Amino acid sequence: MCGRFTLKTPVGRWLADLFPSRIPDQTTVEQSFSAELLRARYNITPSQQILVLHFNSNGSPIIDSMRWGLVPVWADSLSVGYNMINARSESIADKPSFQPSLIDKRCVILADGYYEWKKLSTKTKEPYWIHTADECVFAMAGLWAENRKIHNPLSQSKSTLSATIITTESNTDVMSVHDRMPALMLNHSQIAAWLDPTLNHVNSIDSLLDQLQPCARGLLQLRRVSTLVNNPANDENQLLNPI
């Protein structure tokens, strides 16, 4: 699973990394979101607002602020405790909470690392920060939904936009820590293929699912970090100091 992640990379850099040939205007992006959402974040937790990228029907990129933890369109209240922060790739096509989003509300969640906990005993777990060698930004495949019944108090929108991160089996880089990992999109081509609006129909489900595979071996690194990350209130660069 993926229950915490980081996005410390400056806006200008991840825009250039993800859109090498079609860079959205940096000033427009910065004016669209609060400074809190765009600052370096070292411990992003469920129910917080996150940066989510999806495409419109013309294939142009849209960046939105969404609640982490998918809220179904039929939910009447956030207080019910919806906590669909992850969706297993093997079952998203069959579950009514996810299948409609798989068809026409696919997205990616921006990150430059994520945390996972290695279970040592029934009471002890070691946290690890998992990242690429150069700590560059990447995308995690996701699904989003819009609930028009609920106003999100953390957003100016009258509806609640929310997203979930899709997970798959771990590759050999991270298998020693956990058996699940996010379905990663490491470059613009992979992102564009996943978000391609021409695939927004039921007949494309199989080809979409085929894209949700563990990333290639040797691309990710593990860094054991302090248990300070266990507390959602801690959100500073010291969390990434190696143990």
Domains of the chain: which residue ranges? 4-240
End-to-end CA distance of the chain: 22
pLDDT tens for the 243 residues of the chain, in order: 789 999 999 887 887 777 766 656 667 777 778 888 889 999 999 999 999 999 888 888 888 999 999 998 888 887 766 679 999 999 999 999 899 999 999 999 999 999 999 999 988 999 999 999 999 999 999 999 999 988 777 666 778 999 999 999 999 999 999 999 999 999 889 999 999 999 999 999 999 999 999 999 999 999 999 999 999 999 999 999 999
Query: For residue 54, what pLDDT is reported?
Result: 92
Residue whose entry in the numeric block shows the structure tokens 């509806």: 159
Query: For residue 22, what pLDDT is reported?
Result: 61
Query: For residue 81, what pLDDT is reported?
Result: 61
Residues classed as catalytic: 2, 116
Q: Are 4 and 44 in contact (CB under 8 A)?
A: yes
d(CA 116, CA 51): 20
Identify which of 79, 82, 62, 63 has the alpha carbon closest to the alpha carbon of residue 153.
Answer: 79
Cα dihedral 191, 215, 199, 52 sign: negative
Here the tokens at position 14 are 């991840």
CATH 3.90.1680.10 fits 4-240, yes or no: yes
Q: At 120, is the secondary structure helix, strand, or coil?
A: coil
Amino acid identity for residue 191 in this structure: I
Query: For residue 238, what pLDDT is reported?
Result: 97
Q: Which residues contact 109 (CB under 8 A, 6 or more apart)?
A: 5, 50, 51, 52, 53, 68, 139, 140, 142, 163, 165
Residue whose entry in the numeric block shows the structure tokens 């996810």: 98
User: What is the rounded radius of gyration, in angstroms, for the C-alpha atoms of the chain?
Assistant: 17
DSSP for residue 85: -
Other CB atoms within 10 A of residue 81 CB = 8
